[in-house]
Amino acid sequence: MSGAAEKRMTIAAGVFSLGGILLFVGLAVIALLAQSGGGDAGALFDTYVWRVTRFTLLQASLSTILSVLFAIPVARALARQASFPGRIWLLRLMALPLGLPALVAALGLIQVWGRQGFLNTGIVALGFEEPISIYGLFGILLAHVFFNMPLAARLMLAGIERIPGEYWRTAANLGMPSAAVFRLIEWPAIRGLLPGIAGLIFMLCATSFTLVLTLGGGPAASTIEVAIYQALRFDFDPPRAIALSGLQIALTGALLLVLKFVAPPPQESETSGKAMRRFDGLRGRSRLADALWLILALIFVGLPFVAIAYSGLQADLARLVGDPAFHRALATSAVIALLSAAVSVGATAVMIRTQQVALMRRHAGAAARGLAGTISAGTSFILLVPPVVLGAGWFLLLRPFGDVARFAPAVVVAINALMALPFVHRVLAPAMATHAARADRLAASLGIVGFHRLRWIDWPPLRKPLLMAFSFAMALSLGDLGAVALFGSQDMTTLPWLLYSRMGSYRTADAAGLALMLGLICLVLTVLGTAGEDGAREGRNA
């Protein structure tokens, strides 16, 4: 096969992938918009809808503020205390919530902060009457801070570590006290990152589904996404679901615009690899303060993991593993995760390559540039329509064709694949760009094309990023409840759905055992999927 034919095939495959994605998202949006055509749209925005919207924004704002406020001292302490035993493990712990399914985390948080949890048991033992309730705004904030404080702290830490080492030596030479170091060096570095970090967290919290579903309490503490789910599954009120979906799209759209123009996306850790030597915070009060913040972070982030492991091991794991319901759920989840990861990684890789091929010539034509631009826009377009809204659209679209549950597997695979796409893109794009810069001209000059190029030139260096992206996409799909919640039925039960039903029917021991297994699987996949980052960290500490 000639190079030109190969290029045409690549572009055709890219256009096909892009077209499929746009069609899948577009049809869902059209279904929602077309059905909202009725004249009583105004009446739909009743007090309930406004209350839900207000609560969505309120909880997202508070979650963002609390996560950031907690993250600043933690990041500063981690940066200042550059070498203490266990620092690398604390950093790893801070990366763990990323890989934990929201449902499993919710269960862990309930075990720590809930009515029968460690904390309330302690409070009651101390003689207090009123235990704190985790259900409602408090629990939602708790869960969002659990997920996002470590994320914010890690991004801030990376920002502080990008500060040149000479700054710390100059500060030490000039004798800056730690308050001045914070005001003059650390805060300016953190401040520059804040819009990006806060925007990201706000976005995650405004579209949070599972945590609000499990920890929110009824209509008083419900977000738009959960309200969409309830409107479709319980009240069967499509007009309301449609109105809410429109609101959600408008909200995420506005957020994406703000993020694009106001806040540059926070950079992942990209440090020089040199050990950072700090001369402040080694003595007295600052060291004590740092230690207290780090212990607080350790307890806050670590305790839910301990709770999941502890109560999971109390469960009758042997019986659970032998349960046919578990087998079915595991098989369903595995198939869905494998398929959606394959679709996600395959489509993303093809689209990235199409972009590269389209822009390869120095003066790429308008069509080529247009295609490349559409692919870039396409990946953000996905963020515009959160999974539950996507599911709602397809729910309404498929309803005329009979029981929606029949279509569930395909729709869930597609939604999960799309959900993972932005993350997969973030892993693959830089790796593929580097590879293309190194190999494209050389391979072309040697005339290596087709299968031989894939086998000998592309696969060896890209194997690791591809497997990482695959692993991460699988973890996301395995932990997802949103898509399954809308479409799930007796015939299609995934692991998170099984866990959710067990929680709902108060089979607590079973739920704990399932949570432990699901959490472990997802964590292992996430660790595999982010192995590269971790290696960089280890290198720095060596």
Partner 1 sequence: MNSTVSPSAAVMLKDVEVRFETTTLLFDCVIPAGQIVAVAGASGSGKSTLFNIIAGFEEPERGDVHILGEEMAGHLPAERPVSVIFQEHNLFAHLDAATNVGLGINPTMRLSAVHRAKVADALKRVGLAGFGGRLPPTLSGGERQRVALARALVRHRPLLLVDEPFAALDPGMRAEMRELLRDLHAEEGNTILMITHHPDDVKLLADSVLFLDQGRIIAHDPVERFVERRDVTAINRFLGRE
Residues that bind partner 1 in the complex, under the rule CB under 8 A: 164-167, 169-177, 179-180, 183-185, 188, 277, 279
The residues, any chain, with a CB within 8 Å of residue 7's CB and separated by 6 or more, are: 357
Which tokens hold the place of 244?
């809410």
Pick the closer one to partner 1 by CB: 179 or 250.
179
User: Residue 138 Cβ, how far from partner 1 at the closest point, in Å?
Assistant: 38
Report which of 400, 397, 398, 392 is spatially closest to residue 483, judged by C-alpha positions: 392
User: Residue 64 Cβ, how far from partner 1 at the closest point, in Å?
Assistant: 24
Distance (Å, whole) CA 162 – CA 149:
20
Pick the closer one to partner 1 by CB: 75 or 185.
185
- Say how many residues make up the chain: 542
Pick the closer one to partner 1 by CB: 39 or 175.
175
The residues, any chain, with a CB within 8 Å of residue 372's CB and separated by 6 or more, are: 354, 355, 358, 359, 364
Pick the closer one to partner 1 by CB: 175 or 324.
175
Pick the closer one to partner 1 by CB: 285 or 361.
285
Distance (Å, whole) CA 197 – CA 208:
16
User: Residue 286 Cβ, how far from partner 1 at the closest point, in Å?
Assistant: 13
Q: Supply the DSSP symbol for 98.
A: G
Report which of 171, 174, 68, 498 is spatially closest to residue 321, judged by C-alpha positions: 498
Distance (Å, whole) CA 532 – CA 536:
7
Q: Supply the DSSP symbol for 86.
A: T
Pick the closer one to partner 1 by CB: 277 or 369.
277
User: Residue 178 Cβ, how far from partner 1 at the closest point, in Å?
Assistant: 10
User: Residue 67 Cβ, how far from partner 1 at the closest point, in Å?
Assistant: 25
User: Residue 277 Cβ, how far from partner 1 at the closest point, in Å?
Assistant: 7
* Angle formed at CA 392 by CA 207 and CA 37, multiple of 5 degrees: 110
Pick the closer one to partner 1 by CB: 4 or 542.
542
Task: Indicate the angle between helix axes 459-479 and 508-529, nearest 10 degrees.
Answer: 160
User: Residue 293 Cβ, how far from partner 1 at the closest point, in Å?
Assistant: 23
Distance set, CA 419 to CA 352, 381, 468, 497 (Å): 17, 11, 16, 18
